[in-house]
Chain A
Amino acid sequence: MAYLILGNSAAGIAAAERIRQIDKNNSITILSDEPHAAYSRCLTSYYLGGQVTEQDMYLRANNFYQAMGISFQPNQKAAAVNPDKKQVVTNQDNIYSYDKLLIATGASANRPSLPGIESDGVFSLRTMDDAKAIEVACQSGRQAVVLGGGLVSLKVAAALNQRGMNVTVLVGSNRVMSQNLGDTAAALVEEQLAHIGITVKKGTRPVSIESDADGTVTGVKLRNGDVYQADLVIVGKGVRPNSSFLKETGLVNGGGEPLKVNRRQETALQNIYAAGDVALTYNILDENYSYSAIWPNALEQGGVAGTNMAGLTREYPGSIPMNSASFGGVPVIAAGITQPRAEGYTLIEEKDAKGNYRMLVLADGRLVGFTLFGDTSRAGLYTGIIKSRKQFPSDQALWQKPRNYLSLAGISTYQ
């Protein structure tokens, strides 16, 4: 029995650890197209902001692979999978055989096809090497333009701001973090961004990236003709699953789309599993699969995949969209459905005198989403309630209860 794991990040490491917990003897091999031991990609923006060192980013101790009996193969980019032969071929033409295969290749930053996007000084942040390259390119006092107002874009913007750059964020929609936040919460985040000195321009349509004769970036041009001067441009336009190398297997069509899995994280092909940013996630709220590329999902799905690969049976319980971020030291947490578009949702919100904002979304007497800004304490209680699908006697009942476990979970009937 040989376990092969493509991807050396959240999903891959979680799977390997789980397999080793169950199966102490058989070989485990991890391939990565990066040179580094497993690190946390979420920390790349913290690295850029100077809050953590490279050393802090590594997820496990130095002797991790050795101690776990894992063969780690860096710089081995999977190029193709042959399900019949149960083999994976890498860019270096190495062939790895498997009995059980996990695809945990994650995702890459989207690169929109803008003219000039290949100019020097245009970056995306996804990997440690990206972070290091940006670190070299950024200079205090110079202009940085960030394309995109999503979570990662804003994190990078904050990091560059921390490094003393003058940062402008160009957002296409009418608010930041439009995937996660409704208008009110987004406005509060925008206030914070302004407070720390980040300029946000909304409803903007970049049409090209300008550069000088050397091919070094000079600015970003908008559809309306405005040009934002830039010494550094960050492209933060979402992610694309790293699945194109699977074209021949039939698991994907063109590549770049997420892999379909079942609750055991099995793909349509036998002995091939998928987990993390490369795959779809079972969403508890709509009881269906959707794309939800977040760290906890990758870790949990990796664990479920590992369990099943090692011969035990385990189903992924499902998850909900959620995220947490802080700007200017003020945290915001949002989970579940935060911007209901259909009928039948009740939205209760409140902004207190101290500037804290709380918003709950209910449907059918059940909590389906929330947003907390400022006071985010015990946010997990709401997350837990959403996941429990518990019905409350009235919408107000949930809203008015103090945010503690006993009152919210209603365990007073506990015997």
Chain B
Amino acid sequence: MSIENKTIDRAAQEMLRRTQADGVEVVWDRLEAQEPQCGFGTLGLCCRNCLQGPCRINPFGKPDRGVCGADAHTIVARNLLRSLAGGAAAHVDHAYDVLEALKKIAEGSAADYELKGEEKLKAVAAKIGLDTANKDKNTLAQEVAARAYETFTSHSSEPMAWLKYWAPAERIETWTKLGVVPRNADREIREAMHQTTMGMDADPVNLLLAGIKQGIVDGFAGLKLATDMQDIIFGTPQPVTTQTNLGVLKKEYINVVVHGHVPLLSEKIVQWCRELEEDAKEAGAAGINVAGICCTGNEVLMRQGIPSATNFLGQELALATGAVDLMVVDVQCIMPSLTNIAQCYHGEIVTTMPITKIPGADHVPFSFEEADQQAEKIVRKAIASFKRRDMARVKIPDEKADIIAGFSTEAIVGALSKVDESDPLKPLVDAIKSGAILGAVGTVGCNNVKITQDLMHVEMVKKLVANDVLVVATGCSAHALGKAGLLHPNATNEFAGEGLKAVLTVVGEAAGLGGPLPPVLHMGSCVDNSRIGDLLMALADYLGVNVKDLPVAASAPEPQHEKALSIGTWAVAMGIFTHLGLPPQVLGSDVVAGTLTGDKLESLIGGKFYVETDAKAAVEGIIEHIKAKRQALGI
């Protein structure tokens, strides 16, 4: 495969030429070595759920059942449910971590942190029915935390707490009818494991409903809860300007890269990089430069304006610059190959979490209680590592793009309020009604090495904005769009359709940008998909309709992770038309694939999956959907 077919990111291309010349194996090489990939797995037709297996179903004939008697539909649906439970578990565990941190900070046992998001704390407390008057922030936070914990401790069949507080009544009613209302996040994930073990559920439709439940668990006990807690601890993001791509690494500086997903660590690393600036200079560096990868990168980007180095597929290539002195990681999406690449070029890999260790990496256990001490230790390792760096082998691509980010729901409403202070959503809703804005699409999710890196994200979004569709983005999609220049106001002039451009210009100028807003609003990390959810619920509320009726869609153009599947399922459960740029491993069962993408599901729940691997066709499909929704609304 040519380098141009591996990635459209010019910095990544340059680094790939380097790894190729050096004979260093990276993710694309490993895919090639795996190809052709197992057809049974591709179709979801292999089962390893008991020791009588492994079994696989022949898509073209016999055997058509596993040893236990499970057929293709059962096996595919079971595997999918396990994947969804895996995705939900990742986000719920993340949320649980930050909730625990909030509680400890509020109680004073995690003294290295303080609560910076007082406004958010009050807003959340009010929404969940707490009396906020005359309470200091730590007391209130403890009360919020106690309520939030109920999401995991409900032993009744009541809807789980964070869902009960935030989900629209119409959704709860719909989900109740389908029997998919989660009671307790942990219990649902446990139940999914039980439901899919040998000799349990064989009904593919029942298994799929359980999958929908996992999506709802993810959305409320994962995404929403995590974002809320993080905003309370670190503050709610506001627009910031910064830069992205490998060109943000600086040769004369000590380069520290934060990679992973949870801001508890990365925030502290950023802080200590600033505090140890003098030590860095003593070591001969111009200072310390922090950059992010993946969603922990997004977290510090959104709140601190820390530049982002690259997205998922670029993580190895960042090390290939030879300029990264230390990469510190927490959880999720971390390639175990990083240590090899670091050995070939330069830099130390530091793992920090008890559930994410990598052979060959330095492990510094990270805890909220001793966060400062450990963060300092890690940054000092970076300084030491810098001293070992071979400057002759440093090669940083001269590629970076300016971006504006930090568009939390609050920030967007804030910008809109500059246009109409008393009724901030009105300008947006009016623009949608008039057709100046055709609709909105959230592009989210990963890179997938099977798709040319960033290509699908960028191609789709260029076409969407040209059709006056407002795009909001999170996760690796936002990184991709940033690298391609789409998170900058210039892109509005270059790519946006006339209607969209006019609206973005009005809002941008009112907000004091002296020009339009970017055509794509960066709303944060992948847990921050909850921000998109909040925005949609607010819009639906304003219009007096349901989320499923809005002229909107979601898209994961290059999905890779189980999390992408569970987030997507949450979106579908919310009633959103959800595009995937690559089929999940379910095509071995026409029942499962057909149900997920079928009209029946849409009629029951409002949303469905839409799989299309071609960017142009995908955008056409999405726009057709948006237009149908507009028509149904009579606009």
Report A-B touching, CB under 8 Å: no
Interface of B with A (CB < 8 Å)? none
Q: Which A residues have a C-beta under 8 Å from some C-beta of B?
A: none
